[in-house]
Amino acid sequence: MSGYALPIKRLIKELSRFPGIGERTAARLANHILRASEEDARRLAESILDVKRKIRFCSVCFNLAEGEICEICADTARNRSVICIVEEPDSLIALEGSGEYQGVYHVLHGALSPLDGIGPEQLRIRELLDRVAGNVVEEVIVATNPSVAGETTALLLVKLLKERGIKMTRIALGVPVGGDLKYTDRMTLAKCLEFRRGV
Amino acid sequence: MNARTQYRTEAIVLRLLDYGESDLIVTFCTAEFGKLRGIAKGARRSRKRFANALEPFSRLQILFSRRRPESLALIESCDVLSHFPGIRANLEKTFTASYLIDLTDQFTPDDKNNEGLFQLLNDFLRLLEGGPATEGLLRFFEIRLLKLSGYDPVLDHCLVCKTPLGNEKAYHFNSGDGGLICTACRPDSPDALPVSLGTIRMLLMGREMEIDRLGRLFLSEQSAEESRRLLAHFIRHLLGRELKSVHVLNEIRRLGI
């Protein structure tokens, strides 16, 4: 980094702290910012500060929200009797992208992982139980990832919620659309047979 | 520059750590190489190369290469030998398997041939896959693991007077000294835990009996409680801390599950 003026060095150092950004990429981004207009640079800086100042967790579903509650929880057209449980806000965004789901969500912010010391108290499980207790919920869809951690979380949620008389469903597992059976791994194939449905 | 040497071995996944944007650092328990750490490039982004193989307690056939024994291995491919689906489909079994994995991770030395520990873990995962997650299973795993890793507690005679087990109905176990002390020699140590003769005999049987016959040993409520306290205390003393998986297990118990 020698040869750069101090403010540029500082910018490169800050940018290289981002995941997947090494010093060379950081230097390229810094040069781009340097060449951009002052207005563009201000917009970038303000949008970073805005995210830090305005974004918080929705008080209902713990999705990322601009205000007290997120857009999905504020939408009166959404079906509040169906809750879809996801591990992270990224999963929520992915499911929303499908355009197929009209219910509401609950974000756990992680999955059970005893080896990493992540138990129920580190997740938003107590808040989910309170939410379910105070509302008429007909169905809870468990959309945690199909990994050991996600499956363990799903098993725990089923144990906790089923005894309350709520219909519990798990997202289907199987071959992806456009996939090829001969290139699919054994476990996925076993699951796709287990989760087969009548036609 | 040293050339990379390729190896093929059977391994059980102990731990996974995200590394960079798309890689995983995986800790394995192997018979030939003891605890082995390797990097699986692109494992988080592409599921094709390591298709669902890199998950805790999966038993795999791995192909890896490295330049020197002390360097991080490059995981080139994995074939799943067993996912232990019976464990993964049951909450209690998954937590039990997590504890077995956590304990093995703590007691397995790096890069040292350790067929015994690998076989022990594999055998107990197999027992857990086919049978219930009992308190006995955990205790017998602990006592066998301690023996194999050189921390075998002295349970067949008093550490002070050397009198063999059997003259008294109750003893005390002192974690600091790693063994039993009979009532006559019992020091006023706050560390010493009371333990009955029946519990000690059970632990000794569980330590020596053939693995496939272990399911026939049944721990009474008193023996389960005493052996749990004794071994938990001893393991905590050896490691100097509580295992993370034990913390999580306690949280689950508080939920009443």
Q: What tens digit of pLDDT does each residue of B230-256 get?
A: 999 999 999 998 899 988 888 888 877
- In angstroms, the CA B68 to CA B255 distance is 47
Predicted confidence at residue B170, as pLDDT, reads 81
Average pLDDT over residues B195-207: 91
Per-residue confidence band for A113, with pLDDT thresholds at 50, 70 and 90: very high
Same domain, B140 and B79: no
Instruction: Answer whether A19 sits within 8 Å of B52, measured CB to CB.
Output: no
Predicted confidence at residue B14, as pLDDT, reads 95
Q: What is the mean pLDDT of chain A?
A: 91
Query: Is residue A192 included in any domain, yes or no?
Result: no
> Containing domain of residue B183, as a range?
134-255
Q: How many domains does chain B have?
A: 2
Query: Is residue B120 included in any domain, yes or no?
Result: no
Query: Is residue B202 included in any domain, yes or no?
Result: yes
Strand B59-66 and strand B5-19: the pairing is antiparallel
Q: How far is A148 from chain B (nearest CA, A)?
A: 6
Angle subtended at Cα B140 by Cα B135 and Cα B142, rounded to the nearest 5 degrees: 100
Tell whether the model's pLDDT for residue A82 goes beyond 90.
Answer: yes
Average pLDDT over residues A134-162: 91
Local structure of residue B2 (DSSP, 8 states): P
Please check whether residue A147 touches B, CB under 8 A: yes
Percentage with pLDDT > 90 across chain B: 46
Percentage with pLDDT > 70 across chain B: 96
Per-residue confidence band for B203, with pLDDT thresholds at 50, 70 and 90: very high
Q: How many domains does chain A have?
A: 2
Predicted confidence at residue B189, as pLDDT, reads 66
Same domain, A19 and A82: no
Instruction: Answer whether B91 sits within 8 Å of A156, measured CB to CB.
Output: yes
Per-residue confidence band for B167, with pLDDT thresholds at 50, 70 and 90: confident
- In angstroms, the CA B247 to CA A151 distance is 20
Pick from A144-153, B6-15, B39-48, B111-120: least confident: B39-48
**In terms of C-beta density within 10 A (0-12 exposed, 13-18 middle, 19 or more buried), how is residue A157 classed?**
buried
Same domain, B142 and B249: yes
pTM: predicted TM-score of the whole model, two decimal places: 0.87
- In angstroms, the CA A49 to CA A55 distance is 10
Tell whether the model's pLDDT for residue A138 goes beyond 80.
Answer: yes
Predicted confidence at residue A74, as pLDDT, reads 94
Indicate the helix (H) or strand (E) that contains B97.
helix B91-107
Same domain, B78 and B144: no
Same domain, B139 and B243: yes
Query: Is residue A138 included in any domain, yes or no?
Result: yes
Please check whether residue A142 touches B, CB under 8 A: no
Output the domain CATH number for residue B28. Answer: 2.40.50.140
Query: Is residue B12 included in any domain, yes or no?
Result: yes
Q: CB neighbours of A107 closer than 8 A, spacing ≥ 6?
A: A57, A61, A62, A63, A86, A87, A88, A89, A92, A124
Predicted confidence at residue B52, as pLDDT, reads 79
Indicate the helix (H) or strand (E) that contains A29.
helix A23-35
Average pLDDT over residues A22-38: 94
Query: Is residue A65 included in any domain, yes or no?
Result: no
Q: Which residues of A touch B99 (CB under 8 A)?
A: 114
Distances (CA, A) of A31 to A7, A77, B43: 12, 46, 32
Which residue from B20, B55, B257 is facing A148, i.e. has the nearest CB?
Answer: B55
Backbone angles phi and psi of B253, in degrees to 5? -65, -35
Residue of A nearest to B105 (CA): A115
Per-residue confidence band for B22, with pLDDT thresholds at 50, 70 and 90: confident
Q: Which residues of B touch A117 (CB under 8 A)?
A: 244-245, 247-248
Average pLDDT over residues B162-177: 83
Predicted confidence at residue A188, as pLDDT, reads 86
Average pLDDT over residues B50-57: 85
Average pLDDT over residues B186-196: 76
Among residues B84, B115, B146, the one where a domain terminates is B84
Same domain, A95 and A158: yes
Instruction: Answer whether B52 sits within 8 Å of A118, measured CB to CB.
Output: no
Instruction: Answer whether A148 sits within 8 Å of B90, measured CB to CB.
Output: no
